[in-house]
Amino acid sequence: MGKTKDIHEAVEEELIFDPLVDPSDITVKNMKGDVALNGTVPSYPQYVEAATAAQRVAGVTNVHNHLEVDLPPGDYRDDATLTTAANDTLALNVTVPDGVEATGCDGNITLTGTVDYGSQRAATERGVAGLTGVRHIKNDIKIRDGADPIAVTILVQDALDRSALVPDDSDITVNTSGNTVILYGHVATWAERNAVVGAAWMASGVSEVIDEIHITG
């Protein structure tokens, strides 16, 4: 019971400590390290950052982000304005290839198109996340086929071996089926887990990463 209470309080304190999050309307629930965030935040970046803050807390093994973005009246953008702003932003981003498009509807942005790398897919999402008027992002960007499963497995494993955040004695294993990478094993922190998943997305041709990694805390 004491540990459960400690994690709950630590997450609340981390949300208060983080200058990028307004925790006024956020409630935290914890069940043995399984943390749920409920309530509202005034922007999409705060929606993302609140979950990131919770992940930083020792003992947190999973975060369920149930927050909703409740835009202040002055931040609302109609569909045409939001769509134009998103596509203009993508056009100026050198990491986003041609052919990727954004469509805005009631504050929700849908991203479509095709890229070569998972890192390009993630960069596209980050590019529009900070726009005023965004409530949610649906990333429907596809990744081109053509990856050699054996080559992908080797590339990902080599990236993990180079990573300063992944211990040398890590039990992480990488399986590849077509364009899908499946990760197994254990890590001590969310930072290690993010490093592993990020390395998997960097390999060319990876269209999906299934995270079966357990955080021991």
pLDDT category at 198 given cuts 50, 70, 90 is: confident
Least confident of 21-30, 33-42, 62-71, 148-157: 148-157
Q: Which residues of 165-182 are buried (b: 16+ CB within 10 A; e: fewer)?
A: bbeeebebebebeebbbe
CA geometry: angle 69, 70, 71, nearest 5 deg: 105
Least confident of 58-67, 71-80, 98-107, 200-209: 200-209
- Domain spans of the chain, in order of start: 2-69, 74-143, 149-215
What's this model's pTM, rounded to 2 decimal places? Answer: 0.78
Q: Evaluate if residue 167 carries a pLDDT over 50.
A: yes
Other beta carbons less than 10 A from residue 14's beta carbon: 20
Q: Is 132 helix (H, G, I), strand (E, B) or coil?
A: coil
Write out the CATH class of domain 2-69: alpha beta
CATH architecture of 149-215: 2-Layer Sandwich (3.30)
Least confident of 70-84, 158-172, 183-197: 158-172
pLDDT category at 38 given cuts 50, 70, 90 is: very high
All residues at 6 or more sequence positions from 186 whose CB lies less than 8 Å from its CB, including other chains: 171, 172, 213, 214, 215, 216
To the nearest whole number, what is the mean pLDDT of the chain? 89
pLDDT above 90 covers what percent of the chain? 55
Least confident of 13-22, 151-160, 186-195: 151-160
> How distant, in Å, are the alpha carbons of 73, 155, 207 from that of 210?
38, 16, 10
Of the candidates 63, 65, 89, 198, the residue with the CA atom closest to the CA atom of residue 100: 89
Q: Do domains 2-69 and 149-215 have the same CATH topology?
A: yes
pLDDT category at 1 given cuts 50, 70, 90 is: very low
CA geometry: angle 154, 156, 162, nearest 5 deg: 100
Q: Evaluate if residue 65 carries a pLDDT over 90.
A: yes
**pLDDT of res. 147:** 63
Alpha-helical runs (H) found in 92-189: 118-129, 149-162
pLDDT above 70 covers what percent of the chain? 96
pLDDT category at 4 given cuts 50, 70, 90 is: low
